[in-house]
Every structure is written in structure tokens, then in C-alpha cells.
Structure 1
Amino acid sequence: MPPWIAVLVVVALVSVTTLVGWALRRRESRPRRAVATGSEWLDAGARGAQATLVQFSTELCTRCPQVRRMLHTIAGEADGVALAEVDLTHRADLATRLHILQTPTVFVLDATGAVRSRFAGVPRKDAVAAELDRVIGDPAHV
């Protein structure tokens, strides 16, 4: 194979990999609106009066502690918002049932416990706060 073809193949592979990485990273911190499903898997005592932030993590997740601290800060700044953490290491059934493919994953639940949105990966603080405001400010759930 001539060297110029090998160089073109390498450049094409690097370009495709960069584009896929960019698309995945961009999608990571965006909330996905969820169909309002129940949260019977979450203890009713762990829910907040207005909303609940649920972080799904594993024992080996390296990014989970920073997300936990961020969510704790957000929950502390809002009245009636609780933070719950579910360790998928011990609840693998939930990962399958809730279609959780990576950790951390964050769910935003409304006052009734219905899942309103979800974040896969490390969410931005402002995005989580905006989703929380949307859920709390929703006239159907105030």
C-alpha cells in the first residue's frame, strides 16, 4: 500500500473518531425528557416534597463523587428537594429496567415521584438547576 493511502486512512479514522467523541460529549450534559414513569424502586421516604434528584452510580465510578457534591449543592439551595443515590453495583436489575448504560446517570423526579428528565454522564450544574426549576415550576405539579 502506498504511504499516501495509509496517511489518508489514518486521517479519516482520526476525523471520524473526533466527530463521534464530540457528538457524544455534547449529548452527555443535555437532559432527555422522560415519559412520566413511576419510581416504585425508590423508597418513598427518600423523596422530596417538591422534587428529587436521583444519582445512579457504581463503586468504581470515578466521576460520581464530583456529581454527588454538585447535586448535594443544588438540592441544598432549593426548598423541598431531596437527593437520593442508588448504587447499581448492588441493584443491577434497575440498570436493566431503567435503561441506564453509564454512570453517573441522574434522574429528576417530580413531587409525585414520576421521572421527568434524565442526564446520562456528568451533567452541567446549570442544566440540572434549569431542569429542577422546570419540574418545580410546572403548574401541574406545584
Structure 2
Amino acid sequence: MSPLVALLFVIGLVVVASAAGVVVSRRSGRIRQVASGSLDTSGLGIRLGSGATLVLFSTEFCTRCPSMKRMLHSIADTADDLAIAEVDLTHRAHVASDLHILQTPTTFVLDGAGHVRARFGGTVARDAVIAELDQITGASHALA
């Protein structure tokens, strides 16, 4: 292989990897509205809150999951009508496949009836989660 072909191959590889990185970073932390659909909470061991439920999907190897878990718990502690659940996908790949979860952390926001109203892929800003909860429950979950 000539040095010119090798150089062009390396440049092409860098361009493709950079483009993939940009796509992944732009999708991370963004809210995705979900049309409708219920989550089988009984099979996952999730207890629903009367107003809303935050479901954090994580793995043992997820480095960003503990900070998301702390943030979601601090939000859930602001109101009695909120519940939080964590589902470890490490040994439950079928759950990730069924729910189309491609990254951890992924957070689902369920309404009081267990319908998935939104999902966040990756880490997300506290304000975005609170805004979604406020929209679902009609109450303010901002910290005083």
C-alpha cells in the first residue's frame, strides 16, 4: 500500500469517527417525546407514583449513571406524588432490546397511569426533567 493511500484512509477514518461523535453528542441528553405506550412495570419491579415515575435504566459499568441517579432522587424527593425506579440492564439485555435502549443512562418519564410520556438518552439537565414533570403532573417540582 502506498503512503498516499494509507494517509487518505486514515483521514477518511478520522472524518467518519468525528461525524459519528457529533451525532452521538447531539442526541445525548435531549428529550424525546413519546406518542403513547405503556411500560410493563410489573415485569421490571417498578412501583408507580401517583403523579409521575422516573425510571432510570443503567448498567454496572455506566460511569454517568450514579450522578443521574442522585439527581433524579433529589427531584423525586421534592413531592409525594413522584416515584423513582432503577432498572439494571447489565444482565437483562432483552429488556434493553425490547425498549430500544441504546445507551445508559436512559431515563423514562411515566405518567401516573404508567404511560411513557418522554425519554432522555444520556445525561440530562435537571431543569429539563423538572419541566417534563411539571407538564405531566401540572404541579411545580422546582426546589424552594
The residue number in structure 1 matching 2:31 is 31
Q: CA deviation at 1:92?
A: 2.6
Letter in 1 for 2:21: G
Letter in 1 for 2:24: L
2:123 is aligned with 1:122: yes
**What TM-score does the superposition give when structure 2 sets the normalisation length?**
0.80
Cα distance in structure 1, aligned partners of 2:108 and 2:68: 12
Percent of paired sites with the same residue: 52
Q: Which runs of 5+ in 2 are unaligned?
A: 140-144
2:37 is aligned with 1:46: no
Query: By percentage of residues, which structure has more helix?
Result: 1
**What TM-score does the superposition give when structure 1 sets the normalisation length?**
0.81
Cα distance in structure 2, aligned partners of 1:44 and 1:132: 22
Cα distance in structure 1, aligned partners of 2:138 and 2:102: 29
The residue number in structure 1 matching 2:66 is 65
Bigger Cα displacement from structure 2, 60-69 vs 121-130:
121-130
Cα distance in structure 2, aligned partners of 1:68 and 1:17: 30
* 1:108–1:116 contact (8 Å) kept in structure 2: yes
The residue number in structure 2 matching 1:18 is 18
* 1:29–1:127 contact (8 Å) kept in structure 2: no
Cα distance in structure 2, aligned partners of 1:122 and 1:20: 18
* 1:106–1:120 contact (8 Å) kept in structure 2: yes
2:75 is aligned with 1:74: yes
Cα distance change, pair 15–93 in 1 and its aligned pair in 2 (3 A): closer
Q: Secondary structure at the match of 1:35?
A: coil
Letter in 2 for 1:116: R
Cα distance change, pair 69–21 in 1 and its aligned pair in 2 (3 A): same
